[in-house]
Amino acid sequence: MKLLNKRAIVTGGTRGIGRAIVSELANNGCSVVFTYFSSEDSAKNLEKELSTETVKVLGFKADASSFSAAEETVKYALDKLGGVDILVNNAGITKDTLLLRMSESDFDSVINSNLKSVFNYTKAILKPMLGQRFGKIINISSVVGIIGNAGQANYVASKAGVIGFTKSNAKELSSRNINVNAVAPGFIETDMTDKLNEQQKEAILANVPLKRLGKPEDVAKAVLFLSSADSDYITGQVLTVDGGMVM
């Protein structure tokens, strides 16, 4: 129980990596408000699956790209949990295509869902966290935000932006005992990577020294570490969880 009596917000908690993060935090004693966009049934199931007498797990429908929805989420979490110690900015989407075919809306929607969302939630939680002089903020980036990827210029720009935003906030908020770090997953088996065909997966695996794709739980364990007191002297870092792909 590394997070006994802590309270967290996790964006995009219904599926894939976000769902594994919500489970990992809750199983370690942390109450969680998680957001979702469309998966209402999964949200209800997750609440039922993880709530206990001492741990509250509550879904909240909120578009991460909307600033006012972020403010409403924070208000809801403060009301239901009595405070927020941990923020995990996980919600994200892809709209992959070559630059020549990429529309303005392909670019804007990915930047808004993946990067502006991180601004929205960080800004919305800032005053309560500054006031309590404690906080752990973990932003989910991606290894492609470090090395780039053809056909993902919008996504890569958003994930590289998340890394810059993380480092600036780590410097700005350290005096108030708020740690800000990023996790950069490699290829993790979720709905997002389900679209890849076998040939593409083989090509990816050829560059993964540990010779397997990642599981959502692999990322969730890194988030648990960065949420807990075990990482109190770590801030402004990007922890890759990628089987050794980028080193």
14, 50, 51, 54: which is closest to 34 by C-alpha? 14
Between the alpha carbon of residue 217 and those of residues 60, 98, 199, the distances in Å are 22, 31, 25
Annotated catalytic residue: which of 76, 121, 155, 233? 155
Q: Which stretch binds ligand NAP (CB under 6 A): 61-69, 173-181, 201-209, 231-239?
A: 61-69
Q: Name the token pair of 150.
A: 């053809």
- Here the tokens at position 5 are 């009596």
Beta strands in the chain (DSSP E): 7-10, 31-36, 57-61, 86-89, 135-140, 178-185, 238-241
Q: Closest separation between CB of residue 177 and ligand NAP, Å?
A: 26
Q: Which range, of 10-18, 71-79, 174-182, 228-236, touches ligand NAP by CB under 6 A?
A: 10-18
The residue within the footprint of ligand NAP, chosen from 31, 73, 113, 166 (CB under 6 A), is 113
CB of 115 closer than 8 Å to CB of 161: yes
238 contacts ligand NAP (rule: CB under 6 A): no
From candidates 31, 35, 179, 240, binder to ligand NAP by CB under 6 A: 35
Per CB under 6 A, the segment of 33-41, 79-87, 97-105, 220-228 that binds ligand NAP is 33-41
Whose Cβ is closer to ligand NAP: residue 36's or residue 165's? 36
Nearer to ligand NAP by Cβ, of 123 and 133: the residue is 123
Q: Is 155 a catalytic residue?
A: yes
Told to check if 12 binds ligand NAP by CB under 6 A, we report: yes
The one-letter amino acid at 156: V
Are the CB atoms for 128 and 82 separated by under 8 Å?
no
Q: Which stretch binds ligand NAP (CB under 6 A): 6-14, 22-30, 73-81, 126-134?
A: 6-14
Of 22, 37, 56, 73, the one binding ligand NAP by CB under 6 A: 37
Write the binding mask 142 to 181 for ligand NAP: x where contact by CB under 6 A, - elsewhere: x---------------------------------------
Please report which helix (H) or strand (E) contains residue 227, including its range.
helix 216-227
Q: ∠ CA 45-124-158 to the nearest 5 degrees?
A: 80
Closest residue by Cα to residue 244 from 203, 211, 215: 211
Encode 61-83: b = buried (16+ Cβ within 10 Å), e = exposed.
ebbbbebebbbbbbebbbeebee
Selected from 185, 222, 238, 243, the binder of ligand NAP by CB under 6 A is 185
- Catalytic center residues: 155
Contacting positions for ligand NAP (CB under 6 A): 11-18, 35-39, 63-65, 90-93, 113, 140, 142, 185, 187-188, 190-193
